[in-house]
Amino acid sequence: MSDLFCQVSGPGGLTDQRHLSLLLHEAVQIPRQLGEVAAFGGSNVEPSVAAAAASA
């Protein structure tokens, strides 16, 4: 996952809420393609992104 994070982080190793949301949205596609999305909490990543941004 760290390699994926590097794709959306800036030179300082940080990312913004929009890019984090895009990363999580793409990561959710794997269980969706396998038919297992419900087991991973659904496909709405916005609550996770908002919680991460609030604690940062």
Q: Where are the domains of the chain?
A: 2-55
Residue 44 has what pLDDT? 73
Task: Indicate the SS3 state at residue 14.
Answer: coil
- pLDDT per residue over 1-56, tens digit each? 577 778 788 888 888 888 888 888 888 787 778 777 666 666 677 777 788 778 76
Superfamily of domain 2-55: EF-hand (1.10.238.10)
Query: On the CB side of 5, how many CA atoms lie within 13 Å of its CA?
Result: 8
Residue 47 has what pLDDT? 77
Residue 41 has what pLDDT? 67
What would the two tokens of residue 24 be?
Answer: 């999580």
Are 45 and 25 spatial neighbours (Cβ–Cβ below 8 Å)? yes
